[in-house]
Amino acid sequence: MEITLERVAQQVKNLRESRKVNLRDLAKEIKINYTALNKIENGSQRLDMETLAKLVDYFNVTADYFLTPSMKLDDVKESANITQSYRSLFIRVLEEYLSEKEKPFKDNQLGQFVRNEFVQNINTQIPLDEKNYLVTGSVGQGVWATIPWVSCFDRSITKSATNGYYIVYLFKEDMTGFYISLNQGYTYFREKYGTKEGRVKILQTANLIRSKVEVSDDFKLVGIDLGSTRDLAIGYEKGHIFGKYYDVNNIPTDAKLIADFRELLEAYKKIVVFMNGRNVREFNDYLLLQDDLEFLETEEANYQEKANEIANNREKQKPKFDEEEKPRPPKNTVIDEGGKERYPRNAKEAAEALLRANYTCEVDPNHETFISKATNNKYGEAHHFVGISHHKKFPDIELDRAANILCLCPTCHRKIHHAVDEVRLPMIESIFYKIHGRLKNVGIEVTMTQLKEFYAISLK
């Protein structure tokens, strides 16, 4: 059946009359110009998106009713039994949760509502493709939760609030309001860094994502307060990235709540795109590289600058060097934005190498360098003698060790990379015989034949 102005107008009129509300009162109630609404109902003006949204919200129907002239009022009533006012979902939880917590948990109607009707309404009214998104709600596991929640997970990233990135509605413990939050699971951070440092790292990840993903000012709420000292509540607070707060006395319309979810969903999708197929661990490892003082080979200038900065600060503390260094297992590789596997370099190891050499060139300590403006100290550059690009040839050994890092003057650093073989080979042989002992201490067993291969030396 063709959708015409007249048929849409009749649908509007039928619904209005079923509620026994006159046109002028309706216009006032939904804050729409009376003349414009009158023209829509008499079929002389199209139904615009703003008016459609307000009518959907006011009459508690889906947009299909206005856009499907064959739909009857009985169909609308049947649909209404499934699709409730979006706003009413939150009001029910806010009004009933504290009293329901005093009742038995098992088979509680409010609990069933959060797990079922609430979830179904999000899927229906946003709407969400259930093949791509999993929506789930919780009021606790066997006992009442301090913070009830309803989450939306991108199935390609996570299906759990303990890991990855997701959108979540979080209700305050005292039920004075709730948040919509683009959040992240804490498990990765606790397992990699421990409880104390993990809480610092999850905050840093939130800051890094804020610097890369743009949202409107409405969602730039940096911190959330759930009013609870429980560990889970603190985890949600630390994991918050973007979002906004709704006070119990000022909950917006259905249309606004739905629009807010959709806008935050767009930010969520940007994170998924930015992840570019990486799993949560790979993505977080990449994000936190520089926070962990790790740098990829594509970040040479930043790596050298940070190494000199750390060395300068450590020098003031009179560092002590480990004379009995031992081998370490290799670190995890990192997947960069282009999907390429990279082996990160830690600026602290480079700083120790610079200090060990007292910023003098390990090819010849008489080589001149210059005073760095950043550190007001002699400037040296860190160079991995056995290049970390060859890490796969040393599967059980960490190559990013101070013992394997040379302090070179800028000229020698360029020379060892770019000079002709007749110049580079004597440098490499001299360095090898000078440092092979310290390489062996950390488990790096290498021969001159291998080094010639690594440096692409063609001379015999």
For residue 256, what is the domain's CATH number?
Answer: 3.30.920.90
- What is the pTM (predicted TM-score) of this model? 0.71
Residues 278 and 179 in one domain: yes
Considering the domain boundaries, does residue 292 fall inside one?
A: no
* Beta-strand relationship, 345-346 and 294-295: antiparallel
Q: Is residue 291 part of a domain?
A: no
Q: Is the Cα dihedral 160, 164, 168, 171 positive or negative?
A: positive
Asked whether residue 193 is domain-assigned, the answer is: yes
Of all residues in the chain, the percent with pLDDT exceeding 70 is 92
- Based on the domain organization, do 156 and 67 belong to the same domain? no
399 found inside a domain: yes
Residues 222 and 317 in one domain: no
Mean of the per-residue pLDDT values of the chain? 89
- pLDDT, tens only, 343-356: 999 999 999 999 99
Residue 361's alpha-carbon distances to 306, 411, 422, 440, in angstroms, are 19, 10, 20, 21
Q: How far is CA 368 from CA 72, 134, 287, 310, 417, in A?
A: 89, 62, 37, 22, 19
Q: Report, as an integer, the average pLDDT of 260-264.
A: 96
Domain C-terminal end among 82, 113, 140: 82
Same domain, 219 and 142: yes
Q: Answer yes or no: do 165 and 257 share one domain.
A: yes
- Same-domain status, 394 and 254: no
Residue 63 belongs to a domain = yes
Q: Is residue 19 part of a domain?
A: yes
Please report the pLDDT score of residue 27 as a whole number: 86
Predicted confidence band at 1 (pLDDT cuts at 50, 70, 90)?
Answer: very low
Q: How confident is the model at residue 410 (pLDDT cuts 50, 70, 90)?
A: very high
In 118-275, DSSP assigns E strands to: 133-138, 149-154, 165-171, 177-184, 242-247
pLDDT for the residue numbered 53? 77
Q: Are residues 187 and 62 in the same domain?
A: no
The pLDDT value recorded for residue 306 is: 93
Mean per-residue pLDDT for 189-194? Answer: 89
Q: In this structure, is residue 290 part of a structural domain?
A: no
Range of the domain at 53: 5-82
pLDDT one-digit tens code per residue, 10-55: 888 887 887 677 888 888 878 889 898 888 888 888 878 788 778 8
Alpha-carbon distance 347 to 305, whole Å?
A: 9
Counted domains in the chain: 3
Residues 238 and 305 in one domain: no
- The CATH number covering residue 23 comes to 1.10.260.40
User: Domain check: are 332 and 215 in the same one?
Assistant: no
The last residue of a domain, from among 82, 101, 122: 82
pLDDT at residue number 400: 96
* pLDDT at residue 385 in the model: 97
Mark whether 173 and 259 lie in a shared domain: yes
342 and 315 belong to one structural domain: yes
Q: Do residues 263 and 408 share a domain?
A: no
